[in-house]
Amino acid sequence: MMSAGMGRWEANPRGRLMQAAMELYTERGYEQTTVAEIAQRAGLTERTFFRHFADKREVLFSGAALLQEAIVNAVAEAPESAPPIEAVAAGIEAAGDYINDREHSRRRHAIIAANPTLQERELIKNAALAAAIASALRKRGVTEPAANLTAEAGVAVFRVAFERWLKETGEKDLRAVIRESMEELRGAVAR
SS3 33: coil
**Closest separation in Å from C-beta 82 to a copy of itself:** 13
Closest CA to 26 of 133, 112, 129, 87: 112
Distances (CA, A) of 120 to 84, 112, 127: 28, 9, 11
Distance CA 37, CA 28 (A): 11
**Closest separation in Å from C-beta 187 to a copy of itself:** 8
Q: Would you give the binding string for a copy of itself spanning residues 74-93, x where CB under 8 A is met?
A: ---------xxx--------
Among 73, 127, 139, 168, binds a copy of itself (CB under 8 A): 127
Q: What amino acid is encoded at 177 in this protein?
A: V
- Give the range of 29-37, 72-80, 100-108, 148-156 binding a copy of itself by CB under 8 A: 148-156
**104 is a contact residue toward a copy of itself (CB under 8 A):** no
| Residue 71: alpha-carbon gap to chain centroid | 10
**173 is a contact residue toward a copy of itself (CB under 8 A):** no
Among 160, 173, 176, 179, binds a copy of itself (CB under 8 A): 160
Among 76, 131, 149, 176, binds a copy of itself (CB under 8 A): 149
Closest CA to 33 of 46, 45, 49, 22: 22
CA dihedral 58, 59, 65, 67 (to 10 degrees): -160
**Closest separation in Å from C-beta 60 to a copy of itself:** 16
**132 is a contact residue toward a copy of itself (CB under 8 A):** no
Residues touching a copy of itself, count (CB under 8 A): 31
